[in-house]
Structure 1
Amino acid sequence: MRHARMCYDAVIFDNDGVLTRPTATTVHREAVRAAFSEFGVEPTTEGVDSVIHGSFARVQRICEIHDVDYEAFWPRREANAAAAQAAAIERGEKTLYDDVSVLSDLDRTMGVVSNNQHETVETILDAFELRDQFEVAYGRSPTVEGYRNRKPSPHYLERAIDELDAESVLYVGDSNVDVLAATRAGADSAFIRRPHRDDYQLAANPTYEVESLDDVVAIC
C-alpha cells in the first residue's frame, strides 16, 4: 500500500465490486434479452454479450443486425438492467460486502460514483439503508450520452466532487477505469483488490492498493 496524502475532505466510492458484489452475468443477460424482446428480437448469446461488454459501436452494430433503432433500444436496455438488478437484490443475490459496515467509523464526507445505472445506485442505497451515509450519489443516466460519460471519463466523479465542494478527494474503486477517472478528476485513488480481482492486472498506478474497506478507513 503506497502512502500519499493522508487527510481528505471527501472519500468517494465505486459501487459494484466495492460496496456491493458484482452483478451476475446471467442477470445482465436477462436484462438485455428483455430489452430486445420489446422489439420482437431474440439475439444470440454472443450478441447479448456484445451489448454487455462491447463498445457502443458494437451495441449499434448488434442493433443494426436486428433492425432495431439503437437510440430507442438503449433506454429500454437501461430500464431492464435496473429492474433486473433490483430483482437480484430482492432475491438476496446481489449483496453488500461485510466490511461496508466499517464506513460508519469513517469521519469524512462520503459519496458514490458508479458506472451502473443511476436508478440501480438509488435502489442499492435504499435497499441496504445506506442513503444517510452518502452526501452524493451518481450513476449513469439512462441515455446514450450517459453511457458515453461513464468511467474512465471523469464526468460523474467531477460532478460529485463539485457538489461536495471538496479540494482533496480519495476515490475507491476496483478497476483500471476507476484509477484513470480519479487521475483525470484530480483525485487520489485506492484500488481495492476484492477476491474477483485476484489476478487483475493494473494498467495505471493507484495512490494506494488495499484489500478491504478497513484499509480505506485506516488511510483516512
Structure 2
Amino acid sequence: MAYSSVIFDMDGVLLNSLVDGEKWKYRAVDRALKEKDVEPENVSRDGKDAILGDKGYKACLKKSSKLGLDPREIWSLVAQETTNARGEELRKGNFELYPEAEKVVKNLHQKDIPLAVISNAPEAAVKMMIEYFELKQYFKFFAGVRNFEDLRDRKPHPNHLELAKAELKRDPFIYVGDSDSDLKAAENARMDSVWVKRGGEVQNGHTFEVEGLGEIVNRVVEDQSE
C-alpha cells in the first residue's frame, strides 16, 4: 500500500552513530559519573545503559538510587554529556548520514509526504543532527526524550509516535526503524513499520524490511497492490 506520512528513527536509520561499539557514549556516561563522585569502573555496562535511560524510566530510577544519585540529576547530566559527545563526533566526521539517507528524505519531501523523526536519544541530540546536516526544512516534526519524566514515554511506548501522528496528520503512517523497540512502538501506535536490517539481529512484527533506505521511496509511495 502507499503511505501518506513517514516517521524515521534516528540512530541506525538516518545517522550512523553506532560506530566503535558506541564507546563515545559510554565515555560520556563515565564523565557524568565522575562528576557525581562515582567511579565508572564500579558500574557495569548494563548499569550505564540503565542510567542512560536505555532500559526505561524504572531501571534508571532503580540504578541511580542504588548508586546514591538523584535520578533526575544524573539522567540530565548524562543527556547533556552524550549530546556534547555527539557534537564532537559530528565535527570530527565520525558520524555520517547513511548512504542515500539525505536523498530519500529530499525525495519524499518533494513528493509532498510529511516527515518526522522520533528517537529515544535526548531531544537536543535529535535537533543537533537535523541542523548539522541541514535537514530541518524537510521534517515537519521531530522529538526525542525531553527530560527524565519523559523516559516513561520512550519507545516502545507509543506516545512519541502519537505526537508525530498528530503533527503530520496524514494517515496512513509508517515508521522506519532498526530495533525491536521501534517495531513494537509502531505496533503500539497502530501503524505499519519498516525494519532497516543493517546486519542486526532478526526482528519480527514489521510490515516489510529493507537492506537500505534507498528501497523505501518506491515501497512507501507506490501502491504495492498494483
Is TM more than 0.5 here? yes
1:21-100 residue pairs with structure 2 within 5 A?
Answer: 21-24=16-19, 25-44=22-41, 46-52=43-49, 54=55, 56-100=57-101
User: Identity over aligned residues, as a percent?
Assistant: 30
Structure 2: 5+ residue runs without aligned partners?
222-226
TM-score (normalizing by structure 2):
0.86
Q: What is the alpha-carbon root mean square deviation over aligned residues?
A: 1.8
Deviation at 1:43, TM superposition (A): 2.2
Local SS of the residue matching 2:170: coil
Deviation at 1:133, TM superposition (A): 1.1
Structure 2 counterpart of 1:105: 107
Answer yes or no: is the 8 Å Cα contact 1:33–1:48 preserved in 2. Answer: no
Deviation at 1:218, TM superposition (A): 1.2
Deviation at 1:60, TM superposition (A): 3.6
Local SS of the residue matching 2:15: coil
Structure 1 counterpart of 2:224: none
Q: Which whole-Å deviations, capped at 9, do the CAs of 1:117-172 have from their partners, x for residues lacking one?
A: 110000001111111111111111132x2222111011111101101112210110
Structure 1: 5+ residue runs without aligned partners?
none
Answer yes or no: is the 8 Å Cα contact 2:56–2:152 preserved in 1. Answer: no
TM-score (normalizing by structure 1):
0.88
1:130-149 residue pairs with structure 2 within 5 A?
Answer: 130-143=135-148, 145-149=149-153
d(CA) in 2 for partners of 1:45, 1:89:
29
d(CA) in 1 for partners of 2:56, 2:186:
21
d(CA) in 1 for partners of 2:168, 2:55:
33
d(CA) in 1 for partners of 2:167, 2:15:
24
**What is the identity, as a one-letter code, of the residue corresponding to 2:134?**
E
Q: Which whole-Å deviations, capped at 9, do the CAs of 1:12-54 have from their partners, x for residues lacking one?
A: 1001010001344211111111111221222226435422254
C-alpha spacing 1:19/1:43, structure 2 compared with 1 (3 Å): same
Answer yes or no: is 1:205 the counterpart of 2:201: no
Name the count of aligned residue pairs: 210
Answer yes or no: is the 8 Å Cα contact 1:102–1:217 preserved in 2. Answer: no
Answer yes or no: is the 8 Å Cα contact 2:56–2:151 preserved in 1. Answer: no
Moved more, 24-33 or 50-59: 50-59
d(CA) in 1 for partners of 2:58, 2:41:
18
